[in-house]
Amino acid sequence: MSEWTWPDSLDALIAAPQFHRVLFENESVRVLDVRIAPGQLVPVHTHKWPSVVQVQSTCDFIRRDGDGKIIFDSRAASTPQTAPAVQWLPPLPPHSVENVGDCDIHLFTVELKAPNAG
């Protein structure tokens, strides 16, 4: 992993605790239950470690960078979002997520803290 330059105050559990709940954590992994209801906006936050995400349910959403610029809009994606699904995500710098659909977004995220955990 390259040098992480963002402050701990932007960690998902600190910056957006109402959307991220720890299910398990040790020195190697952190498992999060992530829930975003229709119309909700998750404030700017980060995910310091790469992760495996199990998508339980999904809906249309917009991801913006830390400056508010749209970096992904599921409504314009060439491949539709589906659930259930499993995805790999690299560490995510400051971003926000807005559920612009009419259903819940529900994810289980396994963040890999240890350098050789993946």
Task: Label residue 100 by pLDDT band (50, 70, 90).
Answer: very high
Does pLDDT of 74 surpass 70?
Answer: yes
What's residue 114's pLDDT? 74
Structure tokens at 63: 């991801």
The DSSP letter of residue 14 is H
Does pLDDT of 36 surpass 60?
Answer: yes
Do residues 63 and 96 touch, judged by C-beta distance below 8 A? Answer: yes
Domains of the chain, start order: 8-112 (2.60.120.10)
Q: Which candidate, 101, 90, 117, 26, places its Cα nearest to that of 60?
A: 101
Structure tokens at 92: 């995510």
Task: Label residue 82 by pLDDT band (50, 70, 90).
Answer: confident
Query: pTM of the entire structure?
Result: 0.92
